[in-house]
Chains A and B, each alone.
Chain A
Amino acid sequence: MSWINARRRRPVAGYAALLLGLVVVGLLYGAFTRSSSSAQASSPPASQSDINTGKDLFDATCSSCHGLDAQGTSQGPSLIGAGAAAVNFQVSTGRMPAKEVGAENERKPPVFNAQQIAQLGDYVASLGGGPAVPDAQQVSTSGANTGLGEQLFSTNCAQCHGFAGAGGALTYGKDAPPLTEASPTQIYEAMLTGPEAMPVFGDGSINPSAKRDIIAYIVATRKEPNPGGFSLGRTGPVTEGLVVFLGGMGFLVLIAMWITYKRRDPRPQGTE
């Protein structure tokens, strides 16, 4: 403590305290917002009892916004024809049930387990069909053409999600989420159903084989080494510029302040 007491009145101490505070806040925020990995959906055959259980779950947790018959209200869209794939994507990524009505529903730990998600999906699918949850074969990346996936990704997905799938900002508080945590099934379902502001990439324009190629590319980018050292989230030159500007220049300013900081003369005044 005496070490701190001896130095806390120095001009540099204020800056150091501010920096320390910011780092602590950032670390705490990162620790509390880290979401766990999501549940994988299985696709058991839909039975009437599954549909009934799904209906009960729906009435209890979803109907306040989507309506008692999933017909939609002013708070939430109609789910008739949305399909099991949309339900699985929204619920397995924790985006639904929504915490609040906002610009964007963020990824969070799922509320329901895989079986309950499948039952909810069966119920919604029973209302008016819609895209089904892809099976393991459809989302398998073995033997996929990663090069073609990169071509398709960079022309159709990279504008919002970034060339390495790190996500990016959209308008009015919306954002394109990072693809670092999404499972292949979830990526497939997102392309198929176009959640929120994302456009739909249906099987007619991006066929199932091309979808597998895109998934293979996204998965492959996660394993790429970072020859530059720090990846900085792979969000591109803006991040690098910001780090250099704030971190690098801030460091240089502190150094410059230290260099020009005048030493207190240990000798008593007036000896010269």
Chain B
Amino acid sequence: MSDIEETDGSEGADVASGPVAPHRVIGTPAPAPRLLGSNAPTTAAASSEGAGGVAVAEHDEEIPQPTEEEIQRGNRAEKIIVACFVLAFLAGCGFIAAYIGLPVGLDRLAPGGNAVDAALRSNLALGTSLAVALLALAVGSLLWVRLLMPDVEIVEERHELQSAPADRAAFAETFKQGAGYSQIVKRPMVRRSLLLGTLPLVAAPLVLLRDMGPLPGTSLRHTVWSAGRRLLVYGTNQPLTAADFSAPGSMITIVPEGYEDDPDALTKAAVILIKFRPGELAIPVRTQGSTLVGTMNWTVDNIVAYSKICTHIGCPVALYEQTTHHILCPCHQSTFDASTGATVVFGPAARPLPQLPMTVNTDGYLVAKSDFTQPVGPSFWERG
């Protein structure tokens, strides 16, 4: 009980109810808990003091003395366990050696070195040595527990969650004492000016959050497509005529001319172009409010263009089955029927893929008639 000491000026300590419970200075460790319960002999409690209080002593007489055969087995187990720990030591040394000895990165390799192969070698050596080291430690510890330690169940009771009454009384007393010394009640102007001083700092995050970037404005409702902009094949940037795209069942990814290499624009403006056999494509006239969002008039010679951005959460949809005319989203299996205006036939998407109004220009190239007439991609709060 040496870690308990009387505080100076502790006249108020008399409020503690217990006759022999001295009150404790806040911040100092508690006296060793009596884990064995109130009826445990004091000698057992004393022996467990400071060692986490595991009540081993109580079980001493329950652990039987090992037999000669058990000692023999224990000696064999000891060798295995020691071998495991030595292996862990060697593998750990190997890890350090591999870290120092196997360089990665072009700047540390010899001229002409292959950075990928070097990383492969280094990863393999580091991973293997670390895995062996940790595994050997684990296996050694496990064998120790299973083969050497006695197989006796030991119960460790939790201490009570509530503090002792004396501790709680001491806390209240110290708090009141501190409040009195600081005169925070007696001098209200100090208290109020302190609150006033912290107020701007509390409000400051609001100002900072408000300035975190420009508002999106109407940018979610528009893409870079505009009247007369040609449809280019992504990658080769080749413009297409209807004759270029004449094989029924064709599908290709399209980007708007002028934004071929602009990833920001393409995240919304990417389009898939699909060619149907005559008679297979039948897009009904669809309107949203007074806005036309789907019609056969926007197709050219059984070629139709849909937004490639899924209306669920914006994955690129290009998984097209020409036999069923289904466009699938690889992320969540939203399925759209391309022959009826990319209407949803399955999955979590809420709306058809927007159809790009398309026509041909005087040179015969496929061009956009206008921008999409509805926002592309996933829903957003103000979409309506």
Give me the interface of A with B, judged by CB distance under 8 Å: 148, 151-152, 155-156, 159-160, 168, 170-172, 174, 194, 196-202, 204-207, 210, 225, 227-229, 259, 262-263, 265-267, 271-272
Contact = CB atoms under 8 A, between A and B. Distances in A.
B251 A199 contact: yes
A272 B253 CA distance: 80
Given A194-B322, A197-B323, A272 B245 contact: no
B247 A202 contact: yes
A-B pairs, top 4 by smallest CB distance, nearest first, are A204-B244, A199-B251, A202-B247, A197-B321
Contact of A205 (B116, B240, B335): B240
Interface in B245-266: 245-253
A172 B333 CA distance: 12
B324 interface: yes
What DSSP secondary structure best describes chain B's contact surface?
mixed
Contacts of B171: none
A271 to B, nearest CB: 7
B233 A205 contact: yes
Contact of A171 (B62, B117, B326): B326
A171 B328 contact: yes
Given A159-B330, A205-B240, A259-B142, A200 B250 contact: yes
Interface of B: 62, 64, 67, 69, 116-117, 119-120, 123-124, 142, 146, 151, 233-236, 238, 240-241, 243-253, 273-275, 316-324, 326, 328, 330, 335
B324 A197 contact: yes
A227 B121 CA distance: 8
Contacts of B317: 159
A1 B108 CA distance: 56
23 contacts: A155-B253, A155-B318, A171-B326, A194-B247, A194-B249, A194-B250, A198-B322, A199-B320, A199-B322, A201-B251, A202-B245, A204-B247, A205-B244, A206-B233, A210-B236, A225-B116, A228-B123, A259-B142, A259-B146, A263-B146, A263-B151, A266-B69, A267-B67
A220 to B, nearest CB: 14
Given A199-B249, A225-B120, A170 B234 contact: no
Nearest to A148: B235
Contacts of B233: 205-206
Contacts of A194: 247, 249-250, 322
B336 to A, nearest CB: 12
Point out which of B241, B243, B246, B322 has the most chain A C-beta atoms below 10 A from its C-beta: B322
A22 B267 CA distance: 45
Contacts of B253: 155-156
